[in-house]
Amino acid sequence: MSETGARQVMAVTFEEHGQLHYLRAHHGEYAVGDWVLYPTSGGAEVARVVWATEPSDDADEFPMCAGRASPGDLDRDARNRTARAEAFAAARRLVKEHGLAMKVVAVDVLDRPEGQSGLPHGNQGTQPQGTLVAIYYTAPDRVDFRALVPDLARTLQARIDLRQIGARDAASVVGGIGSCGRELCCSTFLKRVEPVGMRLARSQRLPNNPLQIAGACGKLMCCLKYEHPLYVDFYQRAPQVGEDVVTDQGPARVIGHNVPSDSVVVRDPEGQVRRCPLESVCPSHQARRQRSADLDHDQEP
């Protein structure tokens, strides 16, 4: 393989609008929409290219693409998707029948032999005993599913592994649209979810009400954490609201901040309000030092 090919990176997903996974490109170029094989501990899985290959200095950090998916790979993937859908429906039905306070979020079918068809309907079927069905669920408390597991095993003709996950992990699996109007970060690009505290909200001048800054999972929005360094950098450079500054068009007073656009809103002596790029205003150095000290105090330990 050429050095150029080895340092090309592309992004793929296992589900439509699903989380991005990055691969080093194999021989040749890949286009958006191509079906490729993503190497996993359980074997190569079919994924679709959503971001064409491009050079990257971090290419060595990602696994190597196992090649293009063959028609046989696509058929196997379609059978596995059908198996997961049938197992998901059966699990939800049995949970409801047992009256358990748990919600089935996702199902994965593991150790599935080559060429095996979909999961059985009802209590009859051909699913091999060697197959493991992992069922991911959420629940407010501990669940006694001793009676549920045998029913699941008989219905699915497989070994059962029930795995409880938290609200954040459930949101990343299910997906959805956030309050910003975009797909959830955790279900697209955010792979590591870190703890988020109210101190981050206060340092970003957001409402001190968790309900107003909660994500789809009911927890504080993940973006408060990974966007925090941008706000720290902005407030260290920006003049405070109420501070007199000098702009390209003369003196003015800051009346607002706009961190995403790296700008401030000012009002001039004539009462005209306008937005100015941050580099075009001149705040006092003393106020800047005070802001830096305040932000350091607000940061999480």
Strand partners, 138: 103
Per-residue pLDDT 10s for the chain (301 aa) are 444 445 888 889 888 777 888 888 866 678 899 999 998 877 788 999 998 888 888 778 888 888 889 999 999 889 888 989 999 999 999 999 999 999 999 998 875 444 443 444 333 333 445 688 999 999 988 888 889 999 999 999 889 999 998 888 888 888 888 888 888 888 878 877 777 888 888 888 888 888 888 888 888 888 888 888 999 899 888 888 888 888 888 888 999 888 988 899 999 888 889 898 888 887 644 445 445 555 555 555 4
Q: What is the identity of the amino acid at 127? A: Q
Per domain, the residue ranges of the chain are: 3-69, 74-165, 171-226, 231-298
The Cα–Cα gap between 78 and 59 comes to: 30
Q: Are 232 and 295 in contact (CB under 8 A)?
A: yes
Q: Are 115 and 80 in contact (CB under 8 A)?
A: no
Q: What is the DSSP letter of 131?
A: -
What stretches of 212-284 show up as alpha helix (H) in DSSP?
A: 223-226, 228-237
The Cα–Cα gap between 244 and 71 comes to: 67
pLDDT tens sequence across 217-239: 888 888 888 888 999 899 888 88
Strand order in the sheet with 244-247: 244-247, 250-258, 263-267, 273-277
**b vs e for 16-53, b when ≥16 Cβ sit within 10 Å of the residue's Cβ?**
eebbebbbbbbeeebeeebbbbbeeeeeebbbbbbeeb
The fold of 231-298 is: SH3 type barrels. (2.30.30)
- What Cα–Cα distance (Å) separates residue 229 from each residue in 107, 174, 235, 289, 291? 37, 28, 10, 17, 14
